[in-house]
Amino acid sequence: MSAPTPHNAAKPGDIAKTVLMPGDPLRAKYVAETFLKNPVQFNSVRGMLGFTGEYEGTRVSVMGSGMGMPSIGIYSYELFAFYDVDNIIRIGTAGGIHKGLKLRDVVIASGASTNSSYFKQYGLPGYFAPIASFNLLRQSVQAAEENGVRYVVGNVLSSDYFYTDEATDTMAWAKLGVLAVEMESAALYMNAARLGKNGLGIFTISDLLTTGASTTPEERQTSFTAMMEIALKTACRVDSGNAGK
């Protein structure tokens, strides 16, 4: 297969080397309009909006991933394999399951545990540990330090379930130090590993499964901006030759 694909109308060259991926395509539009200079839309197939623009002189793209591992699995695979994208930074919200987390904390996912069967396609004689690109991780931690943002680095759970029959199924992961639950990063990390590319997930904690607390829309907006500034700084630095593999 080659570009355009059944899910992405962009032509080769329309997409930057680094793509930021929120789950919500309207979030992608908001990011493009708020943070990028001269954004140009490259996709609207299935409403999965994607844009390329500039941030502080660096070409950056932003595109929705949809919800869940099958969805980000498709879009990230195509970006890496058919559009020559090197770096995908997922930006999203996650539910805190670890006692130490507070609402609005930024979580940078060094690893993504999962209850999904996505890894079965590789036919491995065991379980794969999906991990972030070290270079993206390093750049994002440095950006968080510089920006004075409270952040935690560690494992997240990429779950196939938003609604679970037993809430304890999700909480069990906290016993092993897993910080928060979201629904996409493990597929991104596996695609990146398989294709020799770089993936990273950065999250703000929008709710705490430990207490049932959740952020207000205003709080979500402020923490979203803090997370975006980390992601954009990371995108600029990897683009200027610090990406590595």
Nearer to ligand HPA, 199 or 201 (CB): 201
Catalytic residue list contains 207: yes
Tokens (6 digits) for 245: 């593999």
Q: For the chain, state the CA radius of gyration.
A: 17
Cβ atoms of 173 and 181 closer than 8 Å: yes
The piece of 54-62, 76-84, 133-141, 206-214 that touches ligand HPA (CB under 6 A) is 206-214
**Which residue in 49, 79, 181, 200 binds ligand HPA (CB under 6 A)?**
181
Tokens (6 digits) for 25: 């395509």
Residue 183 contacts ligand HPA per CB under 6 A: yes
**Which residue in 16, 207, 208, 226 binds ligand HPA (CB under 6 A)?**
207
| Paired sense of beta strands 18-21 and 58-63, if any | parallel
Nearer to ligand HPA, 63 or 101 (CB): 101
Q: Give min distance, CB of 184 to ligand HPA, in A.
A: 9
Q: What are the angstrom distances between the C-alpha of 236 and each of 34, 94, 188, 231, 243? A: 17, 24, 20, 9, 10
Residue 158 contacts ligand HPA per CB under 6 A: no
The piece of 13-21, 83-91, 121-129, 175-183 that touches ligand HPA (CB under 6 A) is 175-183
Nearer to ligand HPA, 25 or 95 (CB): 95
- Kindly write down the DSSP assignment for every residue of 222-238, as one continuous string: HHHHHHHHHHHHHHHHI
Q: Give min distance, CB of 182 to ligand HPA, in A.
A: 5
Residue closest to ligand HPA when measured from CB atoms: 95
Tokens (6 digits) for 74: 């498709």
Residue 204 contacts ligand HPA per CB under 6 A: no
Residues β-bridged to residue 59: 54
State which amino acid sits at residue 49.
Answer: L
Cβ atoms of 235 and 124 closer than 8 Å: no
Number of residues that bind ligand HPA (CB under 6 A): 11
Nearer to ligand HPA, 36 or 209 (CB): 209
Residue 93 contacts ligand HPA per CB under 6 A: yes
Residue 223 contacts ligand HPA per CB under 6 A: no
Residue 206 contacts ligand HPA per CB under 6 A: yes
Calpha distance 38→54 (Å, rounded)? 7
- Kindly write down the DSSP assignment for every residue of 77-111, as one continuous string: HHHHHHS---EEEEEEEEEE-STT--TT-EEEEEE
Calpha distance 198→239 (Å, rounded)? 12
Write down the catalytic residue from 14, 86, 207, 239: 207
Residues with catalytic roles: 207
- Interface contacts to ligand HPA, rule CB under 6 A: 93-95, 159, 162, 181-183, 206-207, 209
